[in-house]
Structure 1
Amino acid sequence: DASDIDFERLPFDHPVYILYSSGTTGRPKCITHGAGGTLIQHQKEHVLHCNLRRSDRIFFYTTCGWMMWNWLVTALAAGATIVLYEGSPFHPSPAAMFDLIDEAGITIFGTGAKAIAGWEKAGLVPRESHQLNTLVTMLSTGSPLAPESFDYVYREIKQNLCLSSISGGTDIVSCFLLGCVTLPVHRGELQCAGLGMKVKILRDDGSVADIGETGELCCTLPFPSMPVFFWGDEDGSRYRSAYFETFPDTWAHGDFVLRTENEGYVILGRSDATLNPGGVRIGTAEIYRQVDTLDEVLESVCIGQDWRDDVRVVLFVRLRDGLELDDELRDRIRKAIRRNTTPRHVPAKIVQVASIPRTVSGKIVELAVRNVVHGRPVSNLDALANPGALELYRELPELDED
């Protein structure tokens, strides 16, 4: 009888999810999350940060292999209705997601930052083509949301909504930095740290970075959704190595971040993918933000190439169909980057490629590209949605030249 269910009482930290890191540069982490901590963390983020209520219909464009699916499913605990979708967000037209918002009456809508940039490049103006009467909150994650994408959302989608860029990851199946409906939205910033999360931005020596100074995103006290263990990590050594080797008794998350005068945050890229030209540490996200403003460029990936006892910045770009990278476009790309960042951000080399390698959850794999460029092995190609794309970066003659 399906109505006769036996509910077994289990420990608070009983395993509920096993999630895998991408593993593109090493053996994947087999991250095991506990039921109680995951539930508390998600309820906090849904109800207190997103203002999720029983009357809401919440959607996040995600595959079942991305932690945002787990995050979305927990919305049922608040009594909300979840909306699921299978297929491309740009099929049968680039406006497919806005059709869904109107059709399903979605109130809280989530997607990847690249989708928002894609809508802008496609010339969508949803405020004119759709009603969007139910939409009150838009969430963005997967990569840093560019300031220009904030402009686009409020200019061309809807003015009276809360646009929240959020960031966390598989490791915590939740967020360190996210939005808040009672706080102002500042262009290019994540609004706040999660409630109950002792987030600090630390310098390499472990001291707290000043406002506007870049550093490592860390958490100095325990929090509910820490993994209970890594599966198969009998002595806990892999767990400790993954998060606690950089700073004693402090979780180092691997993001390169600064805190703003607005008490918000800006993510500049992954710590292990930051660039070091001339010994100065800069984030890849700062470069992507400028490149994304150019209509000719659909997407890009940036790495640091070891070159003559230093590191030089190399930018790979995928252009619109039929376009070729010429000196004029290279010059405009460099000028856009120099104008809005610093001379150190300007790529020494800009190379056109036919495809950008990504994980199955859509994230660009900078470290895998860097390994291929340097002739190093790439582990766990199964984590990539398009592993064959890595061959486009192997033994490029342009990268053997000054």
Structure 2
Amino acid sequence: MSIVWQPHAIQDTQMAQFLHDVEARFNVRLNDYDALYAWSIEHKALFWQTVAQFFKFKFFTPATCILKYTSLLDAKWFIGATFNFAEQLLARRDNYQALISYNEQGHVSTLSFAELYQQVAHCLAGLKRAGVTKGTRVVGVLPNQATAIIAMLACASIGAIWSSCSPEFGLQTLIDRLIVIEPLVLFISDGYQYRGTLYDNRAKIEHLSGALPTLKHMIVCPELSLFESLESLKLTTTAYFWADFIDTSVTTCTFTPLAFDHPLYILFSSGTTGKPKCIVHGAGNTLIQHVKELGLHTDLRADETLFFYTTCGWMMWNWMVSALALGVRLILYDGSPAYPGITHLFDIMKDEQVSVFGTSAKFLSTLAKADVSLANTHHFPKLRTILTTGSPLLPTQFDFIVSNIKQTIQISSISGGTDIISCFVLGNPLKPVYHGEIQGAGLGMAVQIFNQDGKAVVDEDGELVCTEPFPSMPLYFWHDAHHKRYKAAYFTRFAHAWTQGDYARKTYQGGFIIHGRSDTTLNPGGVRIGTAELYRLLETLPEISESVVVGQQWADDVRIILFVKLSANGVLDETLCQKIKYLLKSEASPRHVPAKILQVNDIPRTLNHKIVEQAVREVIHHQPITNVHALLNPEALSQFTARPELSE
């Protein structure tokens, strides 16, 4: 693999400073990142303790023991320590901009760090008045604007547990998620916007009011000012507008001392492989992992600007918000990334002098398909890193970034998940970026690739696992007695290693290539093939807008079925079929060639816009669909139902 980016000014990075800090504290010699990584795995407790010290964690009471465990499942971190997540994120209280909120309508609002602290104090007073205490569940159905961050930090200040969903989620999807966690308080926007259309949340507000038995208080946040009064709404709970709920006379936050592993977030998995998991994450466990990734691996620091395109229903929102603990300025955006024009996010990046931009691989694919070039129209003097996640970043997308966005830029593909609210493998300011690869494993993360016999392998495909405990493992699944579902999710395949469910390869230079989900891996003739191996080649064909590939049981074997959504001028004729087959045969192998190539007009996605291969596979095998409520566009499944070609 060729090198597409080389690190420079290494000694100025926080990663290098952290390495030297470890050397000085423990009188060890660490020549490079690989040596630091090995030390972080061998000396787990000392490593994570040093992370907390390096990033100035403020403890009310110190830990009596950093790590105690007999297995991955029973690991306990910073035992006896008390701290407060919100206090860490609100440590900076000057007049420097903290949050800049944009929406599709062109509205822009700003909050300084001092104003953010004040707003959290106002909201915290309202929560206390509503009876919210330690352990109370509070949920937000909100766009990615300042209100969501304020409400979450107010909850964290008192020890309430926060969970959030995007307002574009359908009503039944919201009910299915929220009824399980029994919220006392709900923050919900009056509406949301997407592709120039305003969507009124009036009906959702009314239905949620009556559908959640534990709900006592509903706070309507007028993000779009769609209605002036709540009196006309048919509600069974006490409801307020945001301005009536908060108490502006309270200007000081009281931060409750909480255990390091006190529950902070309840997150729901995306549902790509079945019904969403209801995952509980601890406060200190989450933050210590996030500052390691944001501060060391991404090298973010005070006064820099992070712009990550996300919604409040994706774990990248939680990850992004933790950058406030580093004094970083955040750009928030609500709406379509391609409205009013496909370069809209880049217009914002240019104006705001963004340092680090994060997005999905899918959005970069959309830009490439539209033949967007920014080299001559947009200049980003401060932009140094592009983060991508959500699905594997294909080699053609590496090329697109370098050719069309900025030539001298670190392409930091990252991979982890909601399960760990963080990353297993990600970027690194001390090592080069190789074409088509994620740079390497994160510090403190004992990531390996296991073959089918459970042996660690290099330059072979297998299961991505983690063999040692790490802080951001879930505390538990909600309502999961004896961790039964938790164990089944991660420890069925290998009892003594966390199995993430990704089919991947570790390269000789220490990088990683993610081929796709293990449970959607293709297996023709007994040979395992990751779906991303096909996607990375199909991405190069201008005739194909997007595709989904699954395995179909056929004649005591598995055959590959490729469904394609064509570009505007694409025609699925024999010429294109032969072009696809030749590409896959010559660039991959004869086993990669699909038995059938079929056209569809839409492809099912989760609410976080991930392609749902499992649902397609279930449809073509006439099996019940286990995650239909997790789909953004369930109607797309009709494209795959009763296809006569699949019986030939």
Give the deviation of 1:24 after TM superposition.
Answer: 5.0
Q: 2:593 aligns with which of 346, 349, 357?
A: 346
Gaps spanning 5+ residues in structure 1: where? none
Matched, 1:2 2:250: yes
Matched, 1:237 2:479: no
Q: Which residue of 1 aligns with 2:350?
A: 102
Give the deviation of 1:23 after TM superposition.
Answer: 3.2
Q: Which consecutive segments of 4 or more residues in structure 1 shift more than 2 A?
A: 22-28, 321-324
Q: 1:22 aligns with which of 267, 270, 273?
A: 270
Q: Is the contact made by 1:140 and 1:165 (CA closer than 8 Å) also made in structure 2?
A: yes
Structure 1, residues 29-70: CA drift from partner, whole Å, max 9, x if none? 110000001000000000000000112110111111010010
Paired amino acid for 1:400: S
> What does residue range 1-400 of structure 1 map to in structure 2 within 5 Å?
1-23=249-271, 25-209=273-457, 211-400=458-647
Instruction: Report % sequence identity.
Output: 53
Q: 1:57 to 1:287 in 2, by over 3 A?
A: same
Structure 1, residues 149-169: CA drift from partner, whole Å, max 9, x if none? 111111121111111110000
Give the deviation of 1:5 after TM superposition.
Answer: 2.1
C-alpha distance in structure 2 between counterparts of 1:35 and 1:237, whole Å: 23
C-alpha distance in structure 1 between counterparts of 2:250 and 2:294, whole Å: 30
Q: Is the contact made by 1:171 and 1:227 (CA closer than 8 Å) also made in structure 2?
A: yes
Partner secondary structure for residue 314 of structure 1? strand
C-alpha distance in structure 2 between counterparts of 1:226 and 1:78, whole Å: 22
Paired amino acid for 2:350: D
Partner secondary structure for residue 158 of structure 1? coil
Question: TM-score, length-normalised on structure 1?
Answer: 0.98
Q: 1:142 to 1:23 in 2, by over 3 A?
A: closer
Give the deviation of 1:400 after TM superposition.
Answer: 1.1
Give the deviation of 1:347 after TM superposition.
Answer: 0.7
Structure 1, residues 92-126: CA drift from partner, whole Å, max 9, x if none? 11111211110221110000111111111111111
C-alpha distance in structure 2 between counterparts of 1:22 and 1:374, whole Å: 22
Structure 1, residues 297-338: CA drift from partner, whole Å, max 9, x if none? 110000000111100001100001253311101111111111
Q: Is the contact made by 1:24 and 1:378 (CA closer than 8 Å) also made in structure 2?
A: no
Question: TM-score, length-normalised on structure 2?
Answer: 0.61
Give the deviation of 1:340 after TM superposition.
Answer: 1.2
Q: Is the contact made by 1:102 and 1:134 (CA closer than 8 Å) also made in structure 2?
A: no
C-alpha distance in structure 2 between counterparts of 1:196 and 1:26, whole Å: 30
Paired amino acid for 1:288: Y
Paired amino acid for 1:47: G
Q: 1:259 to 1:380 in 2, by over 3 A?
A: closer
C-alpha distance in structure 2 between counterparts of 1:361 and 1:148, whole Å: 23
Partner secondary structure for residue 236 of structure 1? helix
Q: Is the contact made by 1:145 and 1:165 (CA closer than 8 Å) also made in structure 2?
A: yes
Q: Is the contact made by 1:107 and 1:136 (CA closer than 8 Å) also made in structure 2?
A: yes
From the CA coordinates, give the structure whose radius of gyration is larger: 2
C-alpha distance in structure 2 between counterparts of 1:322 and 1:166, whole Å: 33
Calculate the aligned-residue CA RMSD, in Å: 1.0
C-alpha distance in structure 2 between counterparts of 1:380 and 1:269, whole Å: 18
